[in-house]
Structure 1
């Protein structure tokens, strides 16, 4: 990833609270977070990620040069917050991390990946320095929610940072498989297996996800592999993929779809607000319950001309989603707190 120019004039101590982290937990929200933390570390800021759940790791370790502190390693998170310049959190850690930061008068930053009311309620609890939305549609949903509930305090400063994907980290020559990543029900795992059964002459790749009950069945044309760390996705997944399926019932952005675009891999997806925004005209959209439409679209991509046209749209959309501008705005916002 290209570094932002120079070092910060006043390096900050940035303490981050999340439940789990790569390489043991590989989900889009966590990889997006580390993509946002990397340029801060490159600018000379002291960035520490503190985990709130017990996991496999027992000792501190580094991801992309950023210190990760497992729950089993240290229990003094409160002290770390007290001595921080900025506290950042996301998902279920927002209420507790926010309370600690506010108690010590430390600027608190929330990364909002979904419109969960509990998150926005705690954003509105007061003195949230910055709220970062992962998409324009999520920002609009939040604005509508704050307007409906006038007793809630609307955050004074907001920013949209789309989950950063640098194409060079993922670009490869596409393979020949129809792939889906994360086989839980909300991601559309049932549909994947229906399609594999309907298309026995096609070969499929099923990549288990980091969370949710994984729907795994036994079909001769399907290879199932365990979850793959983000920095290995290019070689282990996208280099083997001809078409990516993202049949999610709920998706606020859809990072894996954007990763696949970098290789010109056509992405078939449900038209959730997030996937519609991220994939734009590069997406091939089918409703979640319309198995016939998904099958017909996959068969259409067997035509080399159809696949080539879809691949070209994917590459163009990947260029449009270059994250450099979003990250520069993010770093500036943090340094100005």
Structure 2
């Protein structure tokens, strides 16, 4: 029975969502899964979440002792250096989940001892290979695996609404694009979902509904059920989970062509440079035509089916069990 310890930073909602969806299949296989939080929050007592034992930092329990008893350690983002150091000290295999191609993601694994690196896309794996080409083999991850952020279509599928939606309205995600489009298209309804981080650009306009930050479990009912088209004019996306969630309902996604979004959305994506507001407006007006929308929606559902996570999650569980 494997015990997996994780120290996630709670501010990264997308990373949290991916982690939970990867840990639950391990629970379903009968493993003892523990999540050790790395930042202070409201909770101060350990609790259970869908079979996962969650230990808040405020509980002030002994993480090194838990490491000593563990079979496998899992970590990500800023928690990798400390978790890897403990893993080396206790002789435990460590798995690193990689959510982006920022230099610290790869650099922190280059300290050596990573038994398995899990990348969320093919392009991220290629970037990692280029990075580690300059390092000796001894410090590279022993093995790598691609697990795309798991989206179970049935958890998100709904009847699309009427709004053009942006999730997280900070400038990097496209808040200025949403504002410009809402001003240009007063007859079109827009939905602005407040994000968990960054300065939020929330237009005070009669055709813009502002929705406060939405938990991942409520996205279907509070966001996608109101959405006709999803905007993703992001500066950077290593994958683009929100776009994949929208595809489950046949919602077209209009996005900036980052490598992650191009890979995740595939042929279903409609790609426009984030600086081309005229282009975004033209696409929205084109999708207002029923025939164009039906075609785009059909492509979205087809891509959603292609992204079924069943096989990748099975491979992930097999890889963790092999380490244990």
Shorter-chain TM range is: over 0.9
Alpha-carbon shift at residue 291 of structure 1 (Å): 0.7
Name the residue aligned to 2:248. 262
Report what 1:13 is aligned to. 3
Identify the residue that residue 319 of structure 1 maps to in structure 2: 305
Map of 1:247 onto structure 2: 233
Q: How many Å separate the matches in 2 of 1:208 and 1:103?
A: 42
2:128 is equivalent to residue 138 of structure 1? no
1:85 aligns to what? Answer: 71
Q: Secondary structure at the match of 2:58?
A: coil
Provide the secondary structure at the position in 1 that maps to 2:302: helix
Q: Is the 8 A contact 1:243 1:266 kept in 2?
A: yes
Is 1:100 equivalent to 2:96 in the alignment?
Answer: no
Q: For residues 288 and 148 of structure 1, what CA distance do their matches in structure 2 show?
A: 34
Instruction: Give the 5 Å matches for 1:11-160.
Output: 11-20=1-10, 27-150=13-136, 153-160=139-146
Structure 2: how far apart are the matches of 1:151 and 1:319? Answer: 38
More helix per residue? 2
Residues 26 and 228, structure 1, Cα contact 8 Å, conserved in 2: no
- The residue aligned with 1:302 is 288
Query: Given the alignment of the two structures, is residue 180 of structure 1 paired with residue 166 of structure 2, yes or no?
Result: yes
- Cα offsets for 1:96-116 (capped at 9, x unmatched): 111111111111000001112
Correspondence for 1:221? 207
Q: Deviations over 1:154-177 (max 9, x none)?
A: 212000000000100001111111
CA distance in 1, matches of 2:27, 2:58: 24
Pick which of 166-175 and 72-81 moved more. 72-81
Provide the C-alpha distance between the structure 1 equivalents of 2:137 and 2:126, rounded to a whole number of angstroms.
Answer: 18
> What TM-score comes out, normalization by structure 1 length?
0.93
Gap regions ≥5 residues in structure 1 = 1-10
Q: Is the 8 A contact 1:108 1:129 kept in 2?
A: yes
Separation in 2 of the partners of 1:305 and 1:264? 14
SS in 2 for 1:118: helix
Structure 2 residue runs without a partner (length 5+): none
Aligned residues: 323
Describe the shift of the 1:97–1:267 C-alpha distance in structure 2 as closer, same or farther (beyond 3 A).
same
Residue pair 2:84, 2:113 contacting (<8 A) in 1 also? no
| Counterpart-to-counterpart distance in 2, 1:231 and 1:31 | 9
